[in-house]
Amino acid sequence: MTKPIVAIPADIRSFDGATWHAVQHQYLRAALNAAGVMAFIIPAFEAGYDADAILDRVDGLLVSGSASNVHPSLYGAEATERDGPFDPARDATSLPLIRRAIDRAIPLLAICRGIQELNVALGGSLASEIHEEPGIWDHRRPEGVDRDGMYAIRQTVHIKAGSCIADILGPGDIRVNSLHRQAIARTAPRLQVEATAEDGTVEAVSVIDARAFAVGVQWHPEYWAETDAASNRLFAAFGGAVRSYAAGKLPVITAQASA
Ligand SMILES: N[C@@H](CCC(=O)NCCCC(=O)O)C(=O)O
């Protein structure tokens, strides 16, 4: 079997005076080296896309984190400047892909912004600046440190027994990183909470009655996917689901090698 391909929606970023469609290297590296799949970047557009045309051509969907936030209008809230920065093109690309991947039983792993998009895509809502709430820990990206320091493993999350993630990582406590200002407020009806932080923040969900791997995590398993056991097992499980999906697809008639 040829190496499977997963789609990963891009962020819209600006540098060098130009607009770029960008995905951080850590996601692409984890997909290749820990899941054993190729991640193809999907440019982000607010209109003109056909999610099924993209999903017809891949074997999974990997939804990355981002410093931008899902636009509050997508979960019925008023946008304030505290909710930014926004990335409407990312929203418009990612949410339909998430919904159709679930409908079509295409394996899905959603990370950080990705779990928030998963929740919104299925009808849930988000809370902003959660660290300002009484009793809620500061989950934000550590500042004044290098990238390894930003993604340092520093928080305990509790994985619920009997959950999908418990099938992969076992039930109980694991240590993870944390780089987010928002979190799931109202959990979408089709999602079950699979892990929580010690302050009650939702840290992982899975899609109820999903016909394929469909998991979201608030932490960043991609960053240490090659060295941290729990991160590696999560990506390996996603890769296994992607390979199973790919193997079950009708064989693609490949062009005969030229003589
Ligand atoms: N913007 C959302 C999601 C946070 C997220 O995906 N963080 C990863 C990117 C970290 C960085 O590069 O700053 C939120 O803040 O909750």
Using the predicted structure, report yes or no on whether residue 253 has a pLDDT greater than 70. Answer: no
Q: Which residues contact 35 (CB under 8 A, 6 or more apart)?
A: 6, 225, 235, 236, 238, 239, 242
Kindly give the distance from the C-alpha atom of residue 258 to the centroid of ligand 1, in angstroms, as a whole number.
47
CB of 181 closer than 6 angstroms to any ligand 1 atom: yes
CB of 113 closer than 6 angstroms to any ligand 1 atom: yes
Ligand 1 atom with minimal separation from the 69 CA: 1
pLDDT band at 254 (very low <50, low <70, confident <90, very high): low
Using the predicted structure, report yes or no on whether residue 242 has a pLDDT greater than 80. Answer: yes
Q: Give pTM, 2 decimals.
A: 0.96
The amino acid occupying position 4 is P
State the average pLDDT over residues 113-120. Answer: 98
The predicted pLDDT at position 72 comes to: 98
Kindly give the distance from the C-alpha atom of residue 254 to the centroid of ligand 1, in angstroms, as a whole number.
40
State the average pLDDT over residues 177-184. Answer: 98
Q: Whose CA is nearest to atom 13 of ligand 1?
A: 67
The predicted pLDDT at position 256 comes to: 66
The predicted pLDDT at position 1 comes to: 82
pLDDT digits (tens, 9 = 90+) for 70-101: 999 999 999 998 889 999 999 999 999 999 99
The predicted pLDDT at position 81 comes to: 81
The predicted pLDDT at position 197 comes to: 98
State the average pLDDT over residues 154-171. Answer: 98
Kindly give the distance from the C-alpha atom of residue 79 to the centroid of ligand 1, in angstroms, as a whole number.
17
pLDDT digits (tens, 9 = 90+) for 5-21: 999 999 999 999 999 99
Angle at 18 between CA 15 and CA 20, to 5 degrees: 75
CB of 190 closer than 6 angstroms to any ligand 1 atom: no
Pick the CATH number of 5-248 from 3.40.50.880, 3.90.1720.10, 3.40.50.10490, 2.40.50.100: 3.40.50.880
The span from the CA of 166 to the CA of 215, in Å, is: 12
Using the predicted structure, report yes or no on whether residue 257 has a pLDDT greater than 70. Answer: no
Q: Whose CA is nearest to atom 4 of ligand 1?
A: 180
